[in-house]
Amino acid sequence: MADIKTVGVIGAGQMGSGIAHVCALAGYDVFLHDLSQERIDAGVATIEHNLARQVGRGLIDDAAMKTTLGRIRPAADLALIGQTDLAIEAATENEEIKKTIFRSLQPHLKAGTLLASNTSSISITRLASTTDRPERFIGLHFMNPVPLMKLVEVIRGIATDGATYEQAVTFARSLGKTTTNAEDFPAFIVNRVLVPMINEAIYTLYEGVGTVESIDTAMKLGANHPMGPLELGDFIGLDTVLSIMNVLYEGLADSKYRPCPLLVKYVEAGWLGRKTERGFYDYRGEVPVPTR
């Protein structure tokens, strides 16, 4: 297989911009795509901000920051993504949206392009089935925030061939990441364990066992977690938490994965966490304040 030299990233949000960041920093030429130029520009601005933070911490120098930014090319036309060696989809956690992206990308793909999804819970086999190359389709689940987190889950669909898997692992490791193999079951490894814990913390709040503050304090000091589960849910995005719980509940048909009604209510209210400035905490002031 040809070496990966160019990477296309579809989605310039929190995950997509992070993936573009680490790929460019590792020496790959990156094409960044989203639905509008405004979104692409916002993604590039996020990358520049996060690179500046790395410079400030002494992790990279100014020259590396400048070189990295020079490797990132806005790609308003999806056709540009199809000409890269590896195309990574990093859109919102919605199966139909992801399938639509791969169908739209299909006519523009060159013969050798490797396809990957950054999905955190959705079947790689089902996503791959919408393409003409399921044997060259892989799951690359980066953790958030991508520049800081060391892990990438690598997930094979039923049709993914061995060479694709090995190439994906080599690529992820070239970014300085540690890889772990996960089988293609709902939510894979990390979110299969982590998100039900967040959902259970929401049930604990819903049932009045503890307040937002007491639950997060208990888990930080009692279980040595760096962030409380409700705070973590806000950081991930409560819509994403709900989406993953629904994937688990529908995919495994087990009542223990039923989303908490309070989680559903927060999402219905548009209180999705940090990105909307309100979730289990209100982030509109100088200090986050519990909303319950």
Dmax of the chain from CA atoms?
57
Q: Where in the chain is the domain with CATH 3.40.50.720?
A: 6-182
Tens digits of residue pLDDT in 217-264: 999 999 999 999 999 999 999 999 999 999 999 999 999 999 999 999
Mean pLDDT of 111-137: 96
Tens digits of residue pLDDT in 61-102: 999 999 999 999 999 999 999 999 999 999 998 999 999 999
Positions marked catalytic = 120, 141, 153, 191
pLDDT at 273: 96
> What band does 1 get if pLDDT is binned at 50, 70 and 90?
low
Backbone φ and ψ for 192, nearest 5 degrees, come out as: -65, -30
Which top CATH class is 6-182?
Answer: alpha beta
Say if residue 2's pLDDT is above 80: no
Q: Quote the strand ranges of 90-236, DSSP E.
A: 114-117, 137-142, 151-156, 178-182
Tens digits of residue pLDDT in 173-224: 999 999 999 999 999 999 999 999 999 999 999 999 999 999 999 999 999 9
Mean pLDDT of 34-41: 95
Q: Where in the chain is the domain with CATH 1.10.1040.10?
A: 192-290
Mean pLDDT of 132-143: 97
Which top CATH class is 192-290?
Answer: mainly alpha
Question: What is the CA angle 198-288-193, rounded to 5?
Answer: 15
